[in-house]
Amino acid sequence: MMKKLAYLIILFSLTACQETALTGFQDKPVVESYLYAESTPSVKISKLIPFTSDMVFSDMDVNKLTVSITEQVSGKKYSLTGNGEGIYTSSDLIITPGKSYQLSFPYNDQTVSATTLVPEKPQNLTLSASSISIEQRGTGLTGPPEMPSPIEINWTNTDQSYYLVVVKNVESVKTAIDTRESTAKDFFRNQPVNTDHYEINARSFKFYGMHRVILYKIQPEYVLYFQENSTSSISITEIRANIENGFGIFTAINSVSAYLYVGKP
């Protein structure tokens, strides 16, 4: 599961920052959990640690909490097992599309909770082409290279759900399109949209080879986190996307993929 979510965690810097300057400090937990459809759950819980030393902390240990996830329709509760570093998992629960789940655990005489609905798998993902050719740059060219037309991505969206497109180069050996770029990332993404299409500009590609185009169907709390994290300098430790009596996010994701090859003319 964690490998499947690696792209998203990197993209949005969703590592729970454990040191942050907060005013009016309250000893509340920070939750970070992404329920991936058809996988087992993982929940990371952190403590806020401000820079000032005059704050009052509780003796709550994030590695010794009683954490559970309840499937709301059936009411069945699954106890999560702590694996150290505030991470809790359950091998007994398989996240099912279309179902709602509630996270719950006691912390400082309060119940920390959050609920999310697992979206159905995105439908009818198509690309306008399975390959494109891009001229290599930084090899003595005197003018700007001619770029191919954008790749059009389409899918079915009848209810204005939110989607996120992530494009990842999957080659083990990377060959740069612009040989002058030494720090280019091997993935890129768009802003969340509630439409049924998106265009990939050819200039977004930084490497040759096969690319995985991932269409994520996401929930409103994820969009809220994305917007707040993208438009300000606040971290997950200061966001209450959908966590009651705490900070952070508890959300669900589903996805489908297609592949696109980037080659030389």
Architecture of domain 123-217+257-263: Sandwich (2.60)
Amino acid 229: pLDDT: 64
Instruction: Determine the CATH number of domain 6-120+219-253.
Output: 2.60.40.10
User: Where in the chain are all domains bearing CATH 2.60.40.10?
Assistant: 6-120+219-253
pLDDT < 70 positions in the chain: 1-26, 49-57, 139-145, 229-240
pLDDT in the model for residue 20:
41
Instruction: Enumerate residues 6+ apart whose C-beta is below 8 A from 234.
Output: 228
Concatenated DSSP letters of 91-104: SS----TT-EEEEE
The Cα 185–Cα 168 span in angstroms is 9
3-class SS at 204? Answer: helix
Which amino acid is located at 191 in the chain? Q
How high is the pLDDT of residue 122? 98
